[in-house]
Structure 1
Amino acid sequence: MALSDSLTILSLALAAEAAFGYPHRLYTGIGHPVTWIGRLIKGLDRILNREARSFGERRAAGILALLILLAATGLVAWALELLLLPLGILGLVLLALFSGTLIAQRSLHEHVAAVAKGLREGGLDGGRSAVAMIVGRNPRSLDEAGVSRAAIESLAENFSDGIVAPAFWLGLGGLTGAALYKATNTADSMIGHRTSRHEAFGWAAARFDDLVNLPASRLTALLVVAAAALHRGASPRGAWRAVWRDASHHRSPNAGWPEAAMAGALGLRLAGPRVYGDVRVEDRWMGDGRAEANADDIDRALALYRTACLLLFALATGSALLTWIIVR
């Protein structure tokens, strides 16, 4: 696929997904591409991840599972491109609608906004119930500030791997590139954990996900810094300073970049020690502001997020126009 086509598809996909999201009726009727990918991952896990095998054998099985997943996902997406590209503008529009299902701007905003609403209308219990839908940590361990920080951290991290990363690979590789990324990211979220069952089998998925998220996490941080420059009360200098100082100290090679940028922009401290299930994780703080976040800070983060999404759309659209000019 020509770069001009893939960037055009990206611009249209971002606009369509922001406007309409993924209709609930469609989800209940046929599911979602991520749920389809998830079923394949569950099947591969059930068939290939045998507990009787050695650690090395299970790691090799995990590599095989990832290759099968990527091959199956890539072939379906590539077939759709071959089918639709010859249709010209109509084909690009249809590919954009398919591609938009792999981006989550609207749903991320709705889920994080629900946490602020939960805190305001239902108090701490309402906030805990809402934040439990988007984070893996134990909600019972969170006070109001912890709930608010968790929501903002989830917003920052998922802006990177739920929006910027699939957009990045869509712009470079069309629907096939975005689908391959989404398959990798879904595999990491399902089997890329250091548990007794998945430490070996999920190793390949986790390491490959780290690799493919590297460029998007850095781009996300730059988008947040740029968005902060457009918001009164946000600090682009603070965002850049936090990224430079703190991002590399996060336990994830990628999550620290958007989290540090968001923390510095809003004058907050994010990440830090937290509890997953019954396990306390001693992570470094991102940012050097106040830790006592609240629902108003969630609103501030969402405003910054909306601006960063607009900047991403502008970048995609400008790049598409530039490539069309060069081609002509």
Structure 2
Amino acid sequence: MDGLDLSSFLQLWGNSSGDALWLAAATPLLLLMGLALDWVIGDMRWLFRFLPHPVVIIGKLIGFLDKKLNREGRGDINRTVRGAVVTVFVTLVAAGTGWGVHMLTRQHPSGWMIDVLLVAILVAQRSLAGRVADVGKALGRNDLLKARDNLRHLVSRDPDKLDRHGVGRSALESLAENFSDAVVAPAFWFLLLGLPGLFAYKAINTMDSMIGYKTDRYLSFGMTAARLDDAVNWIPARLSGLLFVIGAAFAPGGKPARALKVMIRDAGKHASPNAGWPEAAMAGAFDMALGGPRLYPGGAKTESVWIGDGKARLEAGDVRRGLALFVIGCGLLWLFIAPLAILSLAG
């Protein structure tokens, strides 16, 4: 198509002549606007006092199917088959819903705004940064109880068993992992497949967080969901690590070469095939050690695995440095998407 200004470009949204090629060209621009909107308005708690959050709806569906199909007394093979069916069903429902919403928005010239809003709702740049910043501020005031309380919004492990250094490490581990899961991966799948890809990814990620545990109840039932989550996060996790490596060159005190070295060396030490990449990059960037033993509610404990070989006794200043790298990483993500958005206007 001929070069367009932004106004003319967006007016094509509701034009029935806009074909699949044009829609693919529009996606980077819509993604960039969605990421910018998320950074400006955050998690929009005011909106979800009146409307259910899409992830809450997905969670209720998963919880209903879990209750109905994952009953005690069933064998491992039975549970595995049922869990696989649930995983496929929820993923297809989410993707189909995304496709349906997109087709509805195309019926109105301003329908593109809904796509932008949904991107802003389903990524978590500002809200994630804000929650980690709250942990860092509490540590800076030497208010360990408040820091632990703020950490509960970020992790599933038991914060009450953590000292101040453990709280700092946990906050940065969550920040690094969620940079991939809550920012880069949703952006990646929206860029690749539009709203169907974004909705499907959020459904898969939510299933993993609800049923993808290696416990007696979910080891078999949640196996497919956990494996699928590993698969859809494989590329985004490694992209996240690379963004942190590049970002370390611009972060105060950051060491990009060290970040790259530690990422390559230690990413595989993590229990997850994906989470270790951004965590190791962050650890290396600031010569930290992340990880260590983790205690979860109910007494479950992970073995002591460390990523990075630097400072483990982290303080509020270390949390601030990690936040700076996160913000820079988000900015780099925008910069990588921006040329695609510009090409969509000029193409």
Unaligned runs of 5+ in 1: none
Secondary structure class of the residue paired with 2:295: strand
**1:208 and 2:228 aligned:** yes
From 97, 119, 140, give the equivalent of 1:120.
140
CA distance in 1, matches of 2:200, 2:171: 27
CA distance in 2, matches of 1:229, 1:85: 42
CA distance in 2, matches of 1:289, 1:121: 24
From 74, 77, 84, give the equivalent of 1:53.
74
User: Aligned pair count?
Assistant: 325
Partner of 2:332: 311
Partner of 1:13: 34
Give the Å deviation of 1:280. Answer: 2.6
Cα deviations by residue, 1:81-120 (Å, 9 ceiling, x for unpaired): 11123545x2323211122211011110111111112223
Give the Å deviation of 1:323. Answer: 4.5
Secondary structure class of the residue paired with 1:24: coil
From 36, 40, 43, give the equivalent of 2:61.
40
Q: Percent identity?
A: 42
Q: Calculate the TM-score normalised by the size of structure 2.
A: 0.90
Secondary structure class of the residue paired with 1:267: coil
Partner of 2:155: 135
The residue type paired with residue 307 of structure 1 is: I
**1:23 and 2:44 aligned:** yes
From 190, 195, 213, give the equivalent of 2:210.
190
Partner of 1:166: 186
Contact 2:244 2:329 in 1 (8 A): yes
Partner of 2:268: 248
- Root mean square deviation of aligned Cα: 1.4
Contact 2:251 2:321 in 1 (8 A): no
**1:270 and 2:290 aligned:** yes
Q: Calculate the TM-score normalised by the size of structure 1.
A: 0.95
CA distance in 1, matches of 2:250, 2:266: 23
Contact 2:213 2:222 in 1 (8 A): yes
CA distance in 1, matches of 2:83, 2:342: 41
Cα deviations by residue, 1:217-270 (Å, 9 ceiling, x for unpaired): 000001111111112311101110111110012111000000000000111000
From 119, 128, 152, give the equivalent of 1:108.
128
CA distance in 2, matches of 1:85, 1:316: 23
Regions of 4+ moved over 6 Å: none
CA distance in 2, matches of 1:139, 1:22: 23
Partner of 1:95: 115
Contact 2:138 2:146 in 1 (8 A): yes
Contact 1:193 1:202 in 2 (8 A): yes
Cα deviations by residue, 1:46-104 (Å, 9 ceiling, x for unpaired): 1111223211011100111111111211111101111123545x232321112221101
The residue type paired with residue 216 of structure 1 is: P
The residue type paired with residue 79 of structure 1 is: G
Contact 1:161 1:213 in 2 (8 A): yes
The residue type paired with residue 130 of structure 1 is: N
CA distance in 2, matches of 1:22, 1:128: 21
CA distance in 2, matches of 1:31, 1:297: 36
Contact 2:282 2:322 in 1 (8 A): yes
Secondary structure class of the residue paired with 1:66: helix
Contact 1:8 1:92 in 2 (8 A): no
| Structure 1 residues 8 and 283: alpha-carbon distance in aligned structure 2, compared to 1, 3 A threshold | farther
Give 1 or 2: higher helix fraction.
Answer: 1
Give the Å deviation of 1:122. Answer: 5.3
Contact 2:255 2:284 in 1 (8 A): yes
CA distance in 1, matches of 2:215, 2:169: 26
Give the Å deviation of 1:302. Answer: 0.6
